[in-house]
Amino acid sequence: MKSDIVIVGCGGTGSHYIKELGRYLYGNRCLRNDEIRIVLVDGDQVEDKNLVRQAFLPQDIGYNKAQVMAEMLSQAYGLSVDYYDGYIDCEKDIEKLVRDNSLVFLVGCVDNHQCRQSMHSFYMNREHCIYMDSANEYQSGEIVIGSRIGGMEMYPDRASYFPDVLQEGAVKRSEESCEVLNQAEPQHLLTNQFAALILLANTIKFLSDDWPGGIVFFDAFKCYSMDRTPREEAS
């Protein structure tokens, strides 16, 4: 089955994950075929402050983050990558990025609940979909991996663990003011990289035909992660 890997958010966690995913695919050329398509999504431009904790270089400043990452994967690893230099404000924004009847591997590296609501709706209405959502604070966080196959949910997504994500009133990412965006507390570089490697580990499972699912809690400063399945959560 053809697969679309759609990565929403190319900033703190997303940029490190994308870079290492490209390195992994370069070393596994058998995976680089028409059956796997990568789409990067981000409406932000690279700023000087991003260089401290994101995988960008000074020459990237002023350019769109998704475009920069797509060009990096093409130039460094010879990968063909599509990108969308806008924001995800509704389910249809994702639908137009994927192929009909494809298995969608959706990766969320965002901090906006409206965007998460859009990804949740897409996930719930897709017959075949894996949805990994990463969230972290300064040093710790969690990654939730939901999966659906044949219209049946094998593992729930973030909304099952954190229902507040679905609360109404969240501001769309495209409508957030500069003041609101500047107030966001940055995560530590190590935390972003730690989260990115957990995302990569579960992506490798997917590419190896091992269906991932569940929730992973982690603390980058204490160097630990803990996997839990929904069954373990209920016990």
Q: What is the pLDDT of residue 35?
A: 76
CATH code of the domain made up of 3-234: 3.40.50.720
Q: Kindly report the backbone phi and psi dihedral angles of residue 111, in degrees, each rounded to the nearest multiple of 5, phi listed first.
A: -125, 30
Rounded CA separation 234/56 (Å) = 41
Domain ranges of the chain: 3-234
Residue 72 exposure: Cα atoms within 13 Å on the Cβ side: 23
Q: What is the pLDDT of residue 170?
A: 65
Q: What is the pLDDT of residue 33?
A: 59
Q: What is the pLDDT of residues 5-29, one digit of tens each?
A: 999 999 999 999 999 999 999 988 7
pTM: 0.91
Q: What is the pLDDT of residue 1?
A: 76
Low-confidence ranges of the chain (pLDDT < 50): 177-183, 234-235
